[in-house]
Amino acid sequence: MHSKQIEQYVIAFAFAVALLVTLVKAPATSAKDEKLKPEELIAKHLDSIGPADKRKAVQSRAASGTTQAAFRVGGSGTYNGNGNILSQEKGLRLGFSFNAIDYPGEQIAYDGNKVTVKQSNPGVYPPFSRFIYENDYLIKEGLLFGTLSTQWALLDVPKQAKMEVTGLKKINGKQLYELKYTFRNSKGMQAWFYFDPETFRHVRSEFKLELAPTNVDKITDSAEQVRYHILEQFDEFKPVDGLTLPYSYKLDFTIDAPKGGLFTSWAYAIRAINHNESFEKNLFSVQ
């Protein structure tokens, strides 16, 4: 056999080996990079919570634990107290309570029809509670508190909701699937939900809204926007009643305004999650 023929055989063999290696590796490298449809991502997420029969068996959920509130901008101080998130049928209630005169906490409730919030002082509402009251679709559409609530929007997505999977995004050094959510009834609010690509657990939500200032002293002020940002983070997932739910919840609320801002964070350490308790209807209305 001539040396030229040998050289051709060697090249052909090397090409065949390279092609085989590429075909073997292709499924492994593309598994995470494939373009998931919103319904596919949501289906995987629901499976991460638990089997369908276990999910449907839950009629109410009560998460209780301790809460620490920290005012970092627009105030100062750290407060320690108790927290709970209660949900049943169409009712939902968040309670972060602190034994402090200047900041008794956040009380937000929804009775299936109306969102109500508690005043911190007569005529004065905590900034976060006021924001939720003014943008009550966040509660009514079940977009806050993730799987800690039986009202979680992705358990039964409204047909009118528009969603798009925008791929894997690197956040704080971790790759997460991003699901962009477009509201049915909002005034410019934007929302994103994030999922672990290995487990498909919901680990993060972000909400952003920009509005013109309501009180304008100068013409130049009207060009500057007030920016609102809500960040939710979920961690420490544990099994409970055949489901897997987060036992750590962190909430950040930021206001960036022309005349000053606000940054408050709450760290909620959940001690217990109980299912199918019966709640009085008045719990889902703030008096």
Bridging pattern class, strands 105-110 and 243-257: unpaired
88 with 279: CB under 8 angstroms?
Answer: yes
- Could you give the C-alpha distances from 96 to 100, 107, 236, in angstroms and in order? 12, 6, 20
117 with 104: CB under 8 angstroms?
Answer: no
Tokens of 276: 């199918």
Question: Distance between CA atoms of 239 and 64, rounded to whole angstroms?
Answer: 16
Give pLDDT, residue 76: 82
Domain boundaries, the chain: 38-284
Q: For the domain 38-284, what is the CATH code?
A: 2.50.20
Q: How many CB atoms lie within 10 A of CB 247?
A: 19
131 with 253: CB under 8 angstroms?
Answer: yes
Give pLDDT, residue 40: 97
Tokens of 184: 């049915």
Give pLDDT, residue 161: 80
Which residues on adjacent β-strands are paired with residue 95?
Answer: 84, 107
Question: Distance between CA atoms of 84 and 170, rounded to whole angstroms?
Answer: 31
Bridging pattern class, strands 260-275 and 60-73: antiparallel
Burial class (CB in 10 A: 0-12, 13-18, 19+), 213: middle
Question: Which positions of the chain have pLDDT values less than 70?
Answer: 1-34, 159-160, 184-186, 214-223
Chain position carrying tokens 């304008």: 216
